[in-house]
């Protein structure tokens, strides 16, 4: 099977266009029916597959980094009388279970990135629905801050997945209808179980959209609303963006290499080792100097490489179940870059980089693989990179040094970044989630900012799972990996997903912890994907045969 590549750029787009006009950008969805990942289906009616969402994810990033002047983004269709028909049904019917689940997860992350841009970057998203807007199409609209619908007696919004396909609007649809749009429960029940959808002023009354306008006034109304939303933004009018240059990646057998990240795959053990390299140069003295480095600025370069590596392993290496996280470099150098991001947090570019790092760390939180952080001599788990230790399911730290190794003893160093820069989907920092119910332990951790904590002290402070001597290290690690590999991948996925999000529930944790889990289950049930299931029979004219037991 060909590798699915998440790297792209606008000259290669087949499905989206970015059109900028001053402070307003239009993100135009104009899907090429023949441009899907597979030739087995056509992407008719602006329906989408992973190829379409890979471009959308890239476009969101470029709008944030390359277009600081853009304050409002209008998502619209490039086709007449149709906005988006949602995820391509033929694709879903033919895809493996693993591909369907990973597709939905990436799509969810992409929608959340739109909301993150509106909430944290001053790049406010609105949706101009000019035609039928069904299923995943409406889920795309739901991810924006403001939805306009043309009032032409034909255009409607709908979530018909349950009555038509026997599945859920699993890209956040149910959750955003209830939690974000605050649609009344009985109305939501009717809306999500009917095929026809809702149009016109009734859609406004039910809070499914925010505004309707007749065709004769449509373009003027959309432009006026976009200009009004742009007034809420703090994006700088005269700033210059930075180009997200092509990401250099080399795949040689079982090795994947970038400038700052390397991945080595051990297929016999179903293990991949990530090695993250700290900066080799001190942090720039100013924001201007950092901006001059462009996409090579270490925190930005690291974020892009780590994100691509995670997505590559998640999508293309489903049988690799354990990911070991290692680092190498100087802790003080990492903290220097963190300090620049912190003191310049009001600068638009530094803000974007910080939120990008946050989103990459969140990808770890929802990836269905076991993460084990290994803190060894010469590692640089400090500040931002220390977040990887707290994102991991377990961590093991070597006490002291190894014989013949002249590198500094293993240490972990906390920084200001660990106490607010990178909240999880539950709204808490990873340390707050780690020490839930232990405020005194959290306070002690914060008091230790800047201290290089060695093995036994780090274990005593609760920052690592285990601290082990050199003579125990290899055996302990081998046993840990072998035990993990011997257990059910399905049970581990469920266990990890539940344990990673302690504390309060948010719309985001509901999407990944509840909605995604139900969709995962439904995608395996015969009522959806069996030979007589709704997803398999859609379009055939044959009525699905459902097993009637409610489970």
Model confidence pLDDT, tens digit, residues 9-48? 999 999 999 999 999 999 999 999 999 999 999 999 999 9
Burial class (CB in 10 A: 0-12, 13-18, 19+), 126: buried
Calculate the average pLDDT of the chain: 96
Looking at residue 335, what is its pLDDT?
A: 98
At residue 479, does pLDDT exceed 80?
yes
pLDDT, tens digit (0-9, with 9 covering 90-100), for 440-471: 999 999 999 999 999 999 999 999 999 999 99
For residue 402, name the pLDDT band (cuts at 50, 70, 90): confident
Contacts of 21 (CB under 8 A, 6+ apart): none
pTM to 2 decimal places: 0.96
pLDDT, tens digit (0-9, with 9 covering 90-100), for 91-101: 999 999 999 99
Give backbone dihedrals phi and psi of 131, rounded to 5 degrees, phi first: 145, -170
Q: Which of 271, 264, 265 is nearest to 485 (CA)?
A: 271
Mean pLDDT of 297-321: 97
Mean pLDDT of 133-162: 96
At residue 550, does pLDDT exceed 70?
yes
Mean pLDDT of 359-363: 98
Looking at residue 153, what is its pLDDT?
A: 84
For residue 406, name the pLDDT band (cuts at 50, 70, 90): confident
pLDDT, tens digit (0-9, with 9 covering 90-100), for 176-209: 999 999 999 999 999 999 999 999 999 999 999 9
At residue 150, does pLDDT exceed 80?
yes
Residue found under tokens 């970044």: 417
At residue 351, does pLDDT exceed 80?
yes
Q: Is 233 helix (H, G, I), strand (E, B) or coil?
A: coil
Tell me which architecture the domain covering 251-499 has in CATH.
Answer: Alpha-Beta Complex (3.90)
Contacts of 100 (CB under 8 A, 6+ apart): 92, 523
At residue 1, does pLDDT exceed 80?
no
Residues of the chain with CATH 3.90.226.10: 13-230, 251-499
For residue 289, name the pLDDT band (cuts at 50, 70, 90): very high
Domain 13-230 has CATH 3.90.226.10: yes
For residue 408, name the pLDDT band (cuts at 50, 70, 90): confident
């Amino acid at each position: 099977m060909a590798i699915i590549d998440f790297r792209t750029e606008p000259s290669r787009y087949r499905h989206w266009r970015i059109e900028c006009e001053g402070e307003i950008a239009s993100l135009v969805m104009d899907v090429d029916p023949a441009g899907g990942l597979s030739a087995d289906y056509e992407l008719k009616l602006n329906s989408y597959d992973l190829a379409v969402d890979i471009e959308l994810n890239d476009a969101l990033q470029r709008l944030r980094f390359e277009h600081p002047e853009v304050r409002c983004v209008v998502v619209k269709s490039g086709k007449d009388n149709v906005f988006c028909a949602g995820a391509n049904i033929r694709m879903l019917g033919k895809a493996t279970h693993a591909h369907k689940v990973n597709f939905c997860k990436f799509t969810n992350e992409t929608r959340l990135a739109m909301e993150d841009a509106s909430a944290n970057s001053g790049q406010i998203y609105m949706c101009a629905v000019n035609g039928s807007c069904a299923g995943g199409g409406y889920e795309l609209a739901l991810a924006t801050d403001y939805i306009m619908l043309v009032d032409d007696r034909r255009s409607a919004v709908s979530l018909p997945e349950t009555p038509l396909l026997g599945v859920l609007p699993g890209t956040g649809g149910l959750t955003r209808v209830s939690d974000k749009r605050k649609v009344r429960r009985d109305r939501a029940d009717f809306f999500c179980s009917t095929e026809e959808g809702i149009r016109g002023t009734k859609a406004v009354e039910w809070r499914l959209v925010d505004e309707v306008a007749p065709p004769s006034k449509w373009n003027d109304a959309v432009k006026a609303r976009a200009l009004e939303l742009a007034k809420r933004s703090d994006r700088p009018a005269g700033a210059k963006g930075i180009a997200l240059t092509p990401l250099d990646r080399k795949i040689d057998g079982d090795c994947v290499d970038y400038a700052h990240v390397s991945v080595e795959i051990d297929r016999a053990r179903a293990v991949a080792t990530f090695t993250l390299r700290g900066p080799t140069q001190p942090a720039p003295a100013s924001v201007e100097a950092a901006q001059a480095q462009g996409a090579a600025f270490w925190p930005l370069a690291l974020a892009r490489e780590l994100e691509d590596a995670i997505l590559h392993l998640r999508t293309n290496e489903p049988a690799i179940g354990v990911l070991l996280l290692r680092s190498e470099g100087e802790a003080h150098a990492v903290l220097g870059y963190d300090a620049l991001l912190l003191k310049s947090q009001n600068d638009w570019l530094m803000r974007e980089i910080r939120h990008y790092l946050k989103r990459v760390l969140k990808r770890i939180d929802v990836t269905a693989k076991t993460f084990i952080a290994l803190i060894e001599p010469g590692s640089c788990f400090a500040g931002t990179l220390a977040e990887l230790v707290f994102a991991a399911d377990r961590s093991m730290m070597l006490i002291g040094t190894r014989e013949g190794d002249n590198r500094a003893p293993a240490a972990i160093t906390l920084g200001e970044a660990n106490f607010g820069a990178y909240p999880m989907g539950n709204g808490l920092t990873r340390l707050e989630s780690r020490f839930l119910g232990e405020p005194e332990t959290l306070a002690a951790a914060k008091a230790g900012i800047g201290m290089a904590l060695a093995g036994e002290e780090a274990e005593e402070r609760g920052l690592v799972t285990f601290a082990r001597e050199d003579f125990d290290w290899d055996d302990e690690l081998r046993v840990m990996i072998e035990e993990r590999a011997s257990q059910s991948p399905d049970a581990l996925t469920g266990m990890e997903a539940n344990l990673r999000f302690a504390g309060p529930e948010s719309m985001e944790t509901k999407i990944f912890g509840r909605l995604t889990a139900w969709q995962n289950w439904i995608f395996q049930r015969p009522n959806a994907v069996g030979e007589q299931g709704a997803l398999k029979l859609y379009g055939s004219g044959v009525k699905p045969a459902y097993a009637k037991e409610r489970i």
